[in-house]
Every structure is written in structure tokens, then in C-alpha cells.
Amino acid sequence: MEIGSIAAAFIASQVAELQTAMAAKMVKMNADQGANAAKLIDAAQENMKSLSNVASGIGQKLNITV
């Protein structure tokens, strides 16, 4: 084997390793975003539960004149 082809193979393997690491990081970031979205939805549902016992009509007619 020539030195040039060995160097090219080494560089290609380094690039492949970097691409694999970046792909793994992106997958982890997407998983974290999904978990955060689920937490946000859960919090919104809890807030709606606390408002479920408010009398009907509250907040529908609001006078905001200055």
C-alpha cells in the first residue's frame, strides 16, 4: 500500500467517526426535546385541572378600557 492511500483511509475513518458522534448528539437532542415537550403538556393539563372548578362565564367579558 502507498502512504497516500493509507493517509486517505485514516482521514476517511476520522471523518466517519466525527459524523457518527454528531449523529448521536443530534439524536440525543431530539430525545431531550421530546421529553421537554411532554413535560410542558403535562404542566398545561395540570393548570387546566385547577381551572376546571371556576364558575362558567369567568373571563369571557373583560373590560380593558383605559
* pLDDT tens-digit series, residues 3-61: 888 888 888 888 888 899 998 888 888 888 888 888 888 888 887 777 666 666 666 67
Q: Which three cell numbers stand for residue 27?
A: 439524536
> Residue 66 in 3-state DSSP?
coil
pLDDT at 5: 85
The C-alpha atoms of residue 59 and residue 66 are separated, in whole angstroms, by 18
pLDDT at 35: 85
pLDDT at 65: 76
- pLDDT-derived band at 2 (thresholds 50, 70, 90) equals confident
pLDDT at 55: 67
Distance in Å from the first CA to the final CA of the chain: 84
CA distances from 23 to 13, 17, 49, 60 (A): 15, 10, 40, 49
